[in-house]
């Protein structure tokens, strides 16, 4: 068993049944969302309501990634008694019912009230759950969406497992802006002594970040291949690649033409802003499944830094293993549902780049294996289910999963 360029090869047995094989570390799969908003920035849900939704719906961790802020100070939010505004009286009543009057601080006279937003420490005390017997549990990871722009183009980067607000930056180019934001996240990690990472959000939102720019920033090791907000244009258009095409182009350039740049991992997120029925960016559209040693902020972050996770909009994997010879995966198949597994990569043939994002193999069924030939710059897998997504980003979307690129050890 060995680590192959970021992906950990673990035994099939371990992943399949959740039990530790004798030579493998005890790990478990954790479901999490690293991109969510609350009343602390432009979400429409109180932070405790948002966190409780994820805790109640099978997630083990969540990052409340509000724009350019941390939930660490006193902040009073107006109650929209006149019906205009994001915090409605009926929602305040629902918070009191759910969490108790002692957990909802209000001030001001009827008609002119404000509610204090819960801080991350208060939220942790309210919603976190300790796992029992190695199962369940719920954890809030600190983080934020560092929200900058360059000449009107959005450059949004989520900082995960960082403890204090990082400034939005102004730089002379998108590449410099991304590079320095990623560096500031790494510096925050070095200062705290904790593992951290940044992920580039929704590159196609406002056509903000091109694939060439993503490829060029070696400090960027993560990006959103799937963002659940309907304004983010994951699908691209006639002039812009989809986020999945962008991924292949950036990987091919990083590994083939530039050489020596790190792999780029794909995350799926909700980027949820809407908790009251608006389907623009609801909860539960996209998430990550992380194979970590424990439900702990550093362990989760370390596992993601190793690339030991996959992105999902509904498909769950039973097994995921990359060895020296092959890339294998098996879907946790549901009855009556079919799956198509595609291995996608880019090869380098006689020193020249082959077709970027080529389908190397495809299987109809819940399990597949791709044996490396040695000429692949990287190989990744995409799983598409026959089941429709219950809360689709685009009407007709199927549930999917995207696993991380791996480089054959022979290279
Ligand atoms: Zn954003
Ligand atoms: Zn966002």
Q: pLDDT tens track of the chain, all 411 residues? A: 333 443 444 333 333 333 333 234 689 999 999 999 999 999 999 999 999 999 999 999 999 999 999 999 999 999 999 888 999 999 999 999 999 999 999 999 988 999 999 999 999 999 999 999 889 999 999 999 999 999 999 999 999 999 999 999 999 999 999 999 999 999 999 999 999 999 999 999 999 999 999 999 999 999 999 999 999 999 999 999 999 999 999 999 999 988 889 999 999 999 999 999 999 999 999 999 999 999 999 999 999 999 999 999 999 999 999 999 999 999 999 999 999 999 999 999 988 999 999 999 999 999 999 999 999 999 999 999 999 999 999 999 999 999 999 998 755
Q: Are the beta carbons of 399 and 314 closer than 8 angstroms? A: yes
pTM (two decimals):
0.94
How many angstroms separate the alpha carbon of residue 115 from the centre of ligand 2? 23
Which neighbouring-strand residues pair with 330? 319, 367
Q: Is 132 exposed, middle or buried (0-12, 13-18, 19+ CB in 10 A)?
A: exposed
Are the CB atoms for 49 and 95 separated by under 8 Å? yes
Strands 28-33 and 61-63: parallel
Residue 396 pLDDT: 97
User: How far is the CA of 55 from the CAs of 60, 61, 138, 284, in angstroms?
Assistant: 7, 8, 6, 12
CA of 371 relative to ligand 2 center, distance in Å: 38
Domain ranges of the chain: 3-75+117-403
User: How many whole angstroms from 156 Cα to the centroid of ligand 2?
Assistant: 8
236 C-alpha to center of ligand 2: Å? 18
Q: Residue 30 in 3-state DSSP?
A: strand
75 to 50, 52, 109: CA distances (angstroms): 17, 20, 18
Predicted pLDDT of residue 409: 76
- The span from the CA of 41 to the CA of 388, in Å, is 31
DSSP string across 265-316: EEEEE--B---SS--SS-SSS-EEEEEESSSSHHHHHHHHHTT-EEEESS--
3-state secondary structure at position 223? strand
Distance CA 351, CA 354 (A): 9
Residue 174 · residue 213 · CB < 8 Å: yes
* Ligand number with the minimum distance to the CA of 273: 2
Tokens of 38: 């609350």
Q: What pLDDT shows up at residue 177?
A: 98
Q: Report the separation in Å between the CA atom of 67 and the middle of ligand 2, taken as the mean of its atom positions.
A: 7
Q: How many CB atoms lie within 10 A of CB 387?
A: 15
The C-alpha atoms of residue 191 and residue 198 are separated, in whole angstroms, by 15
User: Computed over its alpha carbons, how large is the radius of gyration of the chain?
Assistant: 21
Q: How far apart are CA 308 and CA 368, in angstroms?
A: 18
Pick from 60, 8, 28: nearest CA to 294 = 28
Output 169-172 pairs: Cβ under 8 A, ≥24 positions apart.
Answer: none
Residue 25: its pLDDT value, please? 64
How much distance in Å is there from the Cα of 299 to the middle of ligand 2? 24
How far does residue 97's CA lie from ligand 2's centre (Å)?
Answer: 29
**The predicted structure's pLDDT at residue 410:** 56
Cα 357 to middle of ligand 1, angstroms: 26
Cα 106 to ligand 1 centre (Å) = 30
Strand partners, 292: 28
Would you call 320 exposed, middle or buried from its count of C-beta atoms within 10 A (0-12, 13-18, 19+)? buried
Q: Which helix (H) or strand (E) holds 351?
A: none
Q: What is the pLDDT of residue 26?
A: 86
Which ligand is nearest to the Cα of residue 144, counting in written order? Answer: 2
Longest dimension (CA), the chain: 76
pLDDT given for residue 121 in this prediction: 98
CATH architecture of the domain covering 3-75+117-403: Alpha-Beta Barrel (3.20)
Instruction: Measure CA of the first residue to CA of the last residue in the chain; give whole Å.
Output: 18
């Amino acid at each position: 068993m060995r680590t192959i360029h970021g992906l950990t090869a673990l035994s099939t047995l371990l992943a399949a049944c959740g039990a530790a094989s004798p030579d493998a570390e005890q790990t478990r799969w954790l479901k999490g969302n690293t991109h969510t908003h609350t009343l602390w920035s432009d979400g429409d849900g109180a932070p405790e309501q948002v966190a409780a939704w994820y805790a109640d719906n099978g997630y083990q961790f969540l990052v409340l990634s509000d724009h350019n802020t941390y939930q660490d100070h006193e902040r009073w939010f107006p109650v929209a008694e006149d019906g205009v505004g994001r915090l409605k009286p009926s929602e305040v009543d629902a918070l009191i019912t759910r969490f108790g009057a002692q957990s909802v601080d209000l001030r001001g006279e009827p008609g002119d009230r404000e509610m204090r937003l819960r801080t991350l420490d208060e939220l942790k005390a309210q919603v976190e759950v300790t796992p029992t017997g190695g199962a369940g549990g719920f954890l809030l990871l600190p983080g934020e969406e560092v929200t900058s722009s360059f000449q009107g183009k959005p450059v949004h980067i989520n900082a995960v497992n960082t403890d204090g607000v990082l400034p939005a930056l102004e730089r002379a180019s998108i590449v410099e802006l991304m590079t320095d934001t990623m560096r500031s996240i790494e510096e925050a990690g070095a200062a705290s002594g904790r593992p951290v990472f940044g992920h580039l959000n929704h590159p196609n939102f406002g056509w903000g970040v091109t694939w060439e720019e993503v490829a060029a920033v070696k400090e960027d090791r993560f990006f959103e291949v799937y963002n659940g907000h309907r304004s983010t244009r994951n699908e691209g258009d006639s002039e812009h690649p989809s986020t999945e095409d962008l991924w292949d182009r950036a990987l091919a350039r990083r590994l083939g033409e530039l050489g020596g740049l790190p792999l780029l991992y794909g995350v799926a997120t909700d980027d949820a802003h809407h908790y009251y029925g608006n389907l623009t960016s609801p909860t539960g559209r996209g998430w990550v499944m992380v194979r970590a040693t424990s439900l702990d902020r550093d362990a989760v972050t370390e596992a993601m830094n190793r690339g030991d996770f996959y992105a999902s909009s509904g498909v769950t994997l039973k097994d995921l293993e990359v060895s020296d010879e092959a890339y294998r995966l098996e879907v946790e198949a549901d009855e009556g549902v079919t799956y198509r597994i595609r291995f996608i990569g880019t090869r380098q043939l006689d020193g020249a780049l082959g077709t970027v994002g080529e389908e190397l193999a495809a299987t109809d069924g819940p399990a597949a294996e791709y044996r490396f030939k040695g000429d692949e710059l990287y190989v990744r897998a995409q799983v598409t289910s026959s089941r429709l997504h219950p809360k689709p980003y685009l009407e007709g979307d199927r549930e999917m999963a995207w696993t991380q690129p791996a480089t054959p050890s022979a290279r």
